[in-house]
Structure 1
Amino acid sequence: MTGSLLQTAWWGELKEEFGWSVTAVSGGERVFCRSLGPFRLGYIPFGFSRPGGDLPGPEATDGVVRSMRAAARELPGRLDLLRWDVPWGVDHFDREAALAAGLRPAPVRVQPPDTVVVSLGGDEETLLSRMKSKTRYNIRLARRRGVTIEAFPADDPRADRELALWYRLYQDTARRDRITIHPLRYYQRVLELSRREDAPLLTLYQARHEEDLLGGIVVVSWEGTSTYLYGAGADIKRNLMASYLLQWEALRGARARGDGAYDLFGIPPSDDPAHPMHGLYRFKTGFGGEILHRPGCWDLPLRRGRAWCYRGAEGVRGWYYQSLRKSLAGSLGRIGTALGRGSA
């Protein structure tokens, strides 16, 4: 099995409960399959990473494609296409070799291709010194203003109640940022499955000020890396900078566990002020990590006609949800604000 959190039995069991079938093939990867209308899709999230963190050379792409074809033959049912989320940085991926081998860029993203990974080497003062000055300032500001952080491991008897409180904030965050989230039961199963001995270590961090819950993040530790999976923030008291202190305490917790890295799991591709998630880029890069750019998702069409039909339909759907719907929602929101001002 490869080292990615999304290739663990824990993640596979979670996804099986929510519509996927999961098969561990002979090469070690877990392949996630599901039928979408008349089409059948296979997906390998961050598969074919190297044991021990060794990075492959560009020539590895041909070998991956051979492994993908072999995996498809082992799976029950006949796939139309097999999708691979590349775990390597772009410098270790040969795009021309991928195209020559039959891979094609996927029309949508599944996992974020760009992220920030913070090295946890050194003491806490060293970690702070690598951060941007504004990030350090906001961490200390949150402390001075009385924000407190409490960690709830999966086996804490209070974790279920705290997760339910966190989910209410998560719903507010999803409405505010116009993102899609799972129902509460999904996150409850994430927590429940994390209580098994062989599962990754999950911790829910909650930020409070007086009686108010200001935010919470879910962090999962696996094979020396802690990953920030989910986060929620309240609309109130945002000037207290609770989100900065939340991440700092999660970094401290990861270092105390002996992890060597903390993955902030997803940023926009560049420091572009015009990007709608530019604030997220500035926030996450402020913690002093290394920016990792991955090549994203690539498809191996197995039944070419059907695969291209599916990819075309998926591209239209992705454009609607990622571009048109968000644009319309933003425009309607601005119109509503203007009308509200006019009637005041």
Structure 2
Amino acid sequence: MVSIEQVSPEAFPPQDNLFQTAFWGTFKKFAGQEPRFFSATFTDDDASSAYTFPFMILLRHRHDGSCYAYAPKAPSIALPAEQRGTLLEELALALRPHVPENCICLRFDLAWRSRYGGDEILKPETAQLALNWGTKTHNLRKASGNHLAPDTVIINLSLTPEQILSRMRGTTRNCIRRAYRSEIDFAVGGIDMLHDWYGLYEETAKRKGFYYESEDYFNTLFSHKRIQENTFHEPPPHKKIETKKKEIIPLAAPAPLPQFHIMTASKSGKLLSGIIIALSGHNAYYMYAGSSEDLKELMANYGLQWEAVRFARSKGCTNYDLMGIPPNGDTSNPMAGLYLFKTGFGGEKVRFAGTWDYPYDEKRYAYFNLEEQMR
């Protein structure tokens, strides 16, 4: 059984999962999406245990006036595989009164790892049968596409730098060494570096034919960071401390608010590569990137990623998610180069369960699904 209660962004706890934070939800409001925040409780059928967790959705409005509810990297709760379908079904049903009548479906981008490892991709029909096992409505559907790439590489930052390097592909280590021998200048900053970085990002996206965000999007991202810090973490009035007392941090202390940083690699004043990374609690994310075609032989991209590893580790992160690779090393895949680049850093290849829908309106969902397939 699932019960949910709508809460304010201020009452929504910070956590390691960037995409399920009040910061991410309220930031996406500037992109035209409508965040709603909930406290959800899942109770086993035998009532032997209950799990309470934060749950955030984004209402995405469509051209015909309808909408769908999107839950990015959610739910953030560890459950045995046999209980996952039941939770998703009951969560969707409990949420129905809290979304507009014309809401087509609840879409989950699952934070759970796939139950099926290896390079074989399970057929949607088989995956649906497995996830709906034990549910009452058997109505969970594998979406026709994924919003976030289900395959990624995650580097374990709790290892020593020497151990991280030892797990890398030999050619990757050599490329990192080349970047340092070339005396690349590495820097880390924030909104002050944004304009120069954005020019490189836009140039890269146009060259490769990728979708790219506007500069205003990133200006909002970095200014929103400061707004959120003032709103959610306003310091208490200063009080004189009479005696020194050791502060004990409780085990249940929440994760800090997400932080975003621009990291760049330059040579003789020329910007060669730049990335934006996000830090959320113990997790770091490789979010956005741009690189120049000039001086590629200096391997600035490789050195910059090693700088990102070192920086995230210094901030207390234990995982660095490189955010998306093709499902395997098929050389015919247009993104095969990305696969080689990211897997070369020696992290764990992870496959998440992907994007799933729970339809609220079958007729509208059929058209919605067909639209997505055609697009």
Structure 1 residue corresponding to 2:196, chosen from 141, 160, 165: 165
Secondary structure at the residue paired with 1:142? helix
Structure 2 residue corresponding to 1:46, chosen from 55, 68, 73: 73
Q: 1:177 to 1:99 in 2, by over 3 A?
A: farther
Q: 1:240 to 1:58 in 2, by over 3 A?
A: farther
**In structure 1, distance between residues paired with 2:32 and 2:80:** 32
**In structure 1, distance between residues paired with 2:304 and 2:185:** 9
Residues 200-239 of structure 1: pairs in structure 2 closer than 5 A: 200-239=258-297
- The equivalent of 2:318 in structure 1 is 260
**In structure 2, distance between residues paired with 1:76 and 1:26:** 19
Secondary structure at the residue paired with 1:131? coil
- The equivalent of 2:26 in structure 1 is 13
- The equivalent of 2:242 in structure 1 is none
The TM-score, its normalising length taken from structure 2, stands at 0.79
Task: For 1:74, give the aligned amino acid.
Answer: H
Structure 2 residue corresponding to 1:136, chosen from 165, 173, 181: 173
Structure 1 runs of 4+ with >3 Å offset = 92-95
8 Å contact from structure 1 (residues 115, 291) kept in 2: yes
- The equivalent of 1:155 in structure 2 is none
How big is each residue's C-alpha offset from its partner over 1:137-188, in whole Å with a ceiling of 9 and x where there is no partner? Answer: 0001011012111111xxxxxx333111111111111112111111100011
Q: Which has the higher helix share?
A: 1
**In structure 2, distance between residues paired with 1:121 and 1:87:** 21
Secondary structure at the residue paired with 1:203? strand
Shift of 1:84: 0.7
More displaced 10-residue stretch of structure 1: 95-104 or 29-38: 95-104
Q: Do structure 1's residue 30 and structure 2's residue 75 form an aligned pair?
A: no
Between the aligned residues of both structures, percent identity stands at 33
Structure 2 residue corresponding to 1:89, chosen from 113, 122, 143: 113
Ranges in structure 1 where 5+ consecutive residues have no aligned partner: 153-158, 318-344
How big is each residue's C-alpha offset from its partner over 1:81-101, in whole Å with a ceiling of 9 and x where there is no partner? Answer: 111101111118964243452
Q: Do structure 1's residue 316 and structure 2's residue 374 form an aligned pair?
A: yes
Secondary structure at the residue paired with 1:90? coil
- The equivalent of 2:219 in structure 1 is 188
- The equivalent of 2:164 in structure 1 is 127
Shift of 1:108: 2.2
The TM-score, its normalising length taken from structure 1, stands at 0.85
Aligned residues: 308
Shift of 1:302: 0.6
**In structure 1, distance between residues paired with 2:271 and 2:33:** 34
Task: For 2:191, give the aligned amino acid.
Answer: D
- The equivalent of 1:104 in structure 2 is 141
Residues 268-287 of structure 1: pairs in structure 2 closer than 5 A: 268-287=326-345
More displaced 10-residue stretch of structure 1: 291-300 or 189-198: 189-198
